[in-house]
Structure 1
Amino acid sequence: MPRKDQRRWGECYLRGLMLDGRRKSIQPMAERLPDGNMQALQQFVNQSPWEWEPVRRRIAERLCGVITPEVWVVDDVSFPKCGTASVGVARQYCGALGERANCQVVVSVHAATDTASCPLEWELFLPEEWASDHQRRRRAGVPDEVGHVSKTRLALGLLAAHDLAVPVIVADAGYGRSVWFRTALEERGWSYVMAVDPMEVARLADAKPHQPAYSGPGPPTLPRYREAPRSLRTFITADTSFEEVTWRQGGKGTMTSRFAVLEVRPSGKEATRTAQEPAGGRGSWDGVLPLRTLLVEQPRDAGEPTGYWMSDLPADTAVADLVRWAKMRRRIEHDYRELKHGLGLDHFEGRTWRGRHHHVTLVTRRTRPRT
């Protein structure tokens, strides 16, 4: 931070986040701090023009150097809010409450291993109703260039925000069900293991398209598959071979389950469209959908699978590695819990775009890699 007063109040705000106390909003922090000044802290967080992006980049470099992450986890966290003035607030699904409610949603990327994790990047999701509400945008200080962008596109921007080497990317089905998102990661050379919806459709690995005979005037008929795509859950039969895998030691003992690995060809309109684009368009496409690796979990005492993950890693990747990476997504729940309960991630009471980004950056600055 370039100015002495910014550094002073930044250090003061960080101490306030670390001190014991139920609330980590500005007024109670200022009252607990011997040198606290509510007006100065308000100005530092909500109005001071310091840039948060370079601060986060530096934090990410230092934290990744400490824990050497095996995966980056993509997810989002919600903050229930009253009223309509706080930036990005809308009635939408709120994970904190498990239902639709008035809330803010922030997309995040975290670095993780089996034994440690820490947040790297954040971006506020701006609902569609905010895109054209100029009065609300002006009051909340939303920059003119910021509009409504899907969470998957926000996540892609966060992943590309650093010059760090990107390891395997993992996410829940909220992101994994987007074929566009998975394809965008592949185009950038990033590997992933993402949870997917069992109702997503695919074809067998050995399925081949055929070229129908030309039947008269008009453009040639495009290659097509003879059989219809099937949902992923139909790929698991009594003959499917499962392997028992242990991926970590949990608080209640060893975490073990059965997993199967299959090769499939994701299908459907979005998968077909994304497969056509690299070929130069619909007319140049040979009709072959790409192979992907499907990881399926079915515990021994379960009557059907309990989890599905799609990956662009080859099918001969060690099953233990696929399982370990897929299961590392759990660490983000530990991060959110510690950031909320210990550092006041959800205690910010300001309403502005700048204030929200400043607060989550300062909370991240006080994070120590959780082990």
Structure 2
Amino acid sequence: MLTIGERFRRPEPRRRMRDFVRGLLAPLPRKNSWTIAEHAGDAGPDGMQDLLTRVKWDDAAVRADVRELIGRQLGDAEAVLVIDETGDLKKGRHTVGVQRQYSGTAGKIENCQLAVHLVYATETTHAMLDVALYLPKSWCDDPQRRAEAGVPEQVRFSTKPQLAAAMVETAASAGLPCRWVAGDEVYGNDPRLAARLRALRLGYVLSVACSHQVSTGLGVYRADALAAGLPTAAWQRMSAGRGAKGYRYYDWSLVALPRATDNHGGHHWLLIRRNHSTGDLAFYRCWSPQRAALHTLVTVAGCRWKIEESFQAAKTGLGLDQHQNRRWISWHRWTTLAILAHAFLAAANANRNRPDPAGLIPLTVNELRHLFNKLIIEPTRRHTGPLLWSIRRRRHQARAINSHYARQALIEQ
């Protein structure tokens, strides 16, 4: 609250903001304005709903404060900015950005909402940094849906790589210490994103498809064809980082691409990963202003998994995907507060990899959240009558049921 408190001029919204984030940190079975308000000891959900809708505050400014906090607490000159999107399955068509589209979370085409996230990753920790909601072209070209969802007039259609480039540029322009960018094929297959990163003098390790074309001294080849011709001596086995069950060992090969030159100079490579058990291949297009060792590029490639850990922690523990917000501003505010809660835990746990004299494993973000709730939140939080909240919930549900039946009766007639 010392980090973001200046964004609120009055004490009431500051208190509600504090209580809202406490609710996100608490182990509630389901997180929405109702459950968070009950946890905070409020008499009703109106205050928490107002915080997401009517109270004046700038979610982009709060994310800028989060970026400053992360840079101050976790800043590392060798840090990696990891980009990826996550999808939330939805019903209906009125929630902002929802349509039938491919979701990597579901692994298929679903009715869902997609958002591009940016995570700050160092050797020891990682924290959620920024977010941009992906608004499909069908939404951008529909004035009625935009108006109903409160989409700002200045918002235009942007691809996921364009959204990622804007977030990375914002972070770099703000002076956040970082050197690398990592992302999957959605971002590696977009040459404009790679060009923008080179202009920012940020090295990158971006996944590309097996059909990706690379220029070598002997001509232009597909990435998989180039890998097939590599001799046995071209492969080295090394770890891409720690996993839940040990180090993640793969066979790696690095091919320099001297013909891949542009106005930004630097060094281009094709990094190839081979699973030593199945033989499956993965390909990465790499660039750096200075020469980089194979081990460095492998480490950056391995950092991409850290965004999945951030998604898991934010969804299971902080309610990132439990929002019930249909409109543009309320969606961004909820997501911003989940990012704030995750950044708080990461910053508070920045020294978790120091050796423990008792031989314990380092504190995890989830364990820190559990301890913070038990030792800090619960002893100080206000309580309200559970029967009053039961009556309020049942009254609200009764009104909703009556409204649905009344609307159905009008349609049937």
Q: Which has the higher helix share?
A: 2
Counterpart of 1:235, as a letter, is L
Paired position in structure 2 for 1:256? 249
Paired position in structure 2 for 1:335? 310
2:95 to 86, 93, 98: 86
2:23 to 16, 25, 28: 16
Counterpart of 2:310, as a letter, is D
Give the deviation of 1:202 after TM superposition.
1.6
Distance 1:153 1:238 in 2: 34
Counterpart of 1:19, as a letter, is A
Alignment of 1:148-163 (within 5 A): 148-162=157-171, 163=174
String of CA shifts for 1:57-90, please: whole Å, max 9, x gaps: 1111112322234201011111111111111111
RMSD across aligned C-alpha pairs, in angstroms?
A: 2.2
Paired position in structure 2 for 1:297? 273
Counterpart of 1:121, as a letter, is D
Give the TM-score normalised by the residue count of structure 2.
0.75
Paired position in structure 2 for 1:194? 206
Paired position in structure 1 for 2:224? 233
Give the deviation of 1:137 after TM superposition.
0.8
1:124 to 119, 133, 146: 133
Query: Structure 1 residue 43 and structure 2 residue 45: aligned?
Result: no
Contact kept, 8 Å, 1:47 with 1:355, in 2: the verdict is: no
String of CA shifts for 1:310-336, please: whole Å, max 9, x gaps: 111279521111101101100111100
Contact kept, 8 Å, 2:267 with 2:290, in 1: the verdict is: no
Counterpart of 1:259, as a letter, is W
Give the deviation of 1:3 after TM superposition.
2.2
Give the deviation of 1:299 after TM superposition.
3.3
1:312 to 268, 282, 287: 287
Distance 1:48 1:42 in 2: 9
Identity %: 27
Give the TM-score normalised by the residue count of structure 1.
0.84
Paired position in structure 1 for 2:41? 34
Query: Structure 1 residue 168 and structure 2 residue 202: aligned?
Result: no
Counterpart of 2:304, as a letter, is R
Contact kept, 8 Å, 1:152 with 1:175, in 2: the verdict is: yes
Moved more, 57-66 or 99-108: 57-66
Contact kept, 8 Å, 2:238 with 2:251, in 1: the verdict is: yes
Q: CA 1:190–1:290 in 2, change beyond 3 Å: closer, same or farther? A: closer
Distance 1:114 1:140 in 2: 40
Contact kept, 8 Å, 2:140 with 2:156, in 1: the verdict is: yes
Distance 1:50 1:196 in 2: 40
Contact kept, 8 Å, 2:80 with 2:303, in 1: the verdict is: yes
Moved more, 32-41 or 135-144: 32-41
> Residue 161 of structure 1 aligns to a residue in which SS?
helix
Q: CA 1:165–1:63 in 2, change beyond 3 Å: closer, same or farther? A: closer
Contact kept, 8 Å, 1:199 with 1:232, in 2: the verdict is: yes
Counterpart of 1:128, as a letter, is K
Aligned residues: 332
Distance 1:145 1:153 in 2: 16
